[in-house]
Amino acid sequence: MTFILALGLMSTAFQSCVYEEPVVVVATPDADVFFDFWAGPRSVEIDGEIFNDGSTFIRAVELEVRLFDDFGRLITTDFIVVDVFLDPRETGFFSLDFNRRYVFDVDIIVRNIFI
């Protein structure tokens, strides 16, 4: 019994009374895309910018570009990786050209963010 009491006193003597809360820093990547497009009779030109809205460095962004006709039907979907190398709160510009006919509307979605 005294051995257990002595062991308990020794273990409390060697413990620290200071408790440190571990701080976990989470790097949240986030990106927004803003764009304008011009659809001619034989091609589509898209000019836009990618804004790093997260809290970490972004190396590249994968964009899903959807092209629609004048009835709202999907013509094609293309996946494009744009190298941007952006720190938080920075903006990068891009320009795309597609040889597609009868395009009436364009939609761009950020699919993947590479950090």
pLDDT in tens, 54-100: 989 999 999 999 999 999 999 999 999 999 999 999 999 999 999 99
Q: How far is it, in rounded angstroms, from Cα 99 to Cα 92?
A: 24
The whole-model pTM stands at 0.75
User: Residue 3's pLDDT is what?
Assistant: 66
User: Residue 34's pLDDT is what?
Assistant: 97
- Tens digit of each residue's pLDDT (9 = 90 or more) over 8-31: 666 666 665 566 677 776 778 999
User: Residue 109's pLDDT is what?
Assistant: 96
User: Residue 13's pLDDT is what?
Assistant: 61
What domains does the chain contain, in order, with CATH numbers?
28-114 (2.60.40.3230)
Give 48's pLDDT tier (boundaries 50, 70, 90). very high
User: Residue 26's pLDDT is what?
Assistant: 73
